[in-house]
């Protein structure tokens, strides 16, 4: 485990812990007696899988927020202030009959979409209008 997450790779502690969690869960799955993977491996390869992620060789979760202090998450009040400001910009542009009302409305909608769905910047940059259309393949609640 130590070699895979060498300091030279410059990974954030939360990223390392995420990778290690994925490996731990995979090892839990492949070594579980509920599945026949261990027996199958023993038959085919003459050995069986083992858990390689242990407390002593994986990153521990020390703090609620491990990011850079200058990139801390916004508080609810800060987010509400941002969204209110975006709505005010739309109202102001419409009220004064200025150009840019549609762009302001778009921006306000994008901010709310980012926050509401927890999108990353790259996910947001790839949104297209068809992403907002109703998907007829998705069953309605209560229907099968």
pLDDT in tens, 117-136: 999 889 999 988 888 788 88
- The pLDDT tens digits for 76-89 are 999 999 999 999 99
Residue 142 — pLDDT band, cuts 50, 70, 90?
A: confident
Q: Are 16 and 64 within one domain?
A: yes
Q: What local confidence, expressed as pLDDT, does residue 1 receive?
A: 64
Short-list 74, 63, 56, 73, CA closest to 14:
63
From the number of C-beta atoms within 10 Å of its C-beta (0-12, 13-18, 19+), residue 87 rates as middle
Q: Are 13 and 59 within one domain?
A: yes
Q: Are 78 and 59 within one domain?
A: no
33 has pLDDT over 80: yes
Look up the domain containing 88 and give its range: 74-132
Separation in Å, CA 40 to CA 13, 27, 32, 49, 54: 35, 15, 12, 10, 24
Residue 110 — pLDDT band, cuts 50, 70, 90?
A: very high
């Amino acid at each position: 485990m130590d070699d895979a997450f060498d300091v030279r790779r410059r990974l954030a502690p939360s990223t390392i812990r995420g990778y290690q969690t994925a490996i731990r869960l995979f090892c839990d799955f492949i070594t579980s007696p509920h599945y026949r993977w261990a027996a199958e491996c023993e038959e085919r390869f003459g050995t069986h899988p083992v858990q390689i992620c242990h407390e002593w060789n994986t990153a521990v979760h020390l703090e609620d927020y491990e990011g850079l202090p200058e990139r801390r998450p916004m508080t609810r009040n800060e987010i509400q202030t941002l969204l209110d400001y975006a709505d005010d910009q739309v109202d102001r542009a419409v009220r004064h009959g200025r150009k840019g009302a549609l762009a302001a409305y778009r921006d306000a909608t994008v901010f709310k979409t980012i926050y509401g769905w927890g999108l990353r910047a790259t996910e947001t940059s790839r949104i297209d209008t068809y992403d907002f259309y109703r998907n007829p393949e998705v069953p309605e609640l209560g229907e099968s």
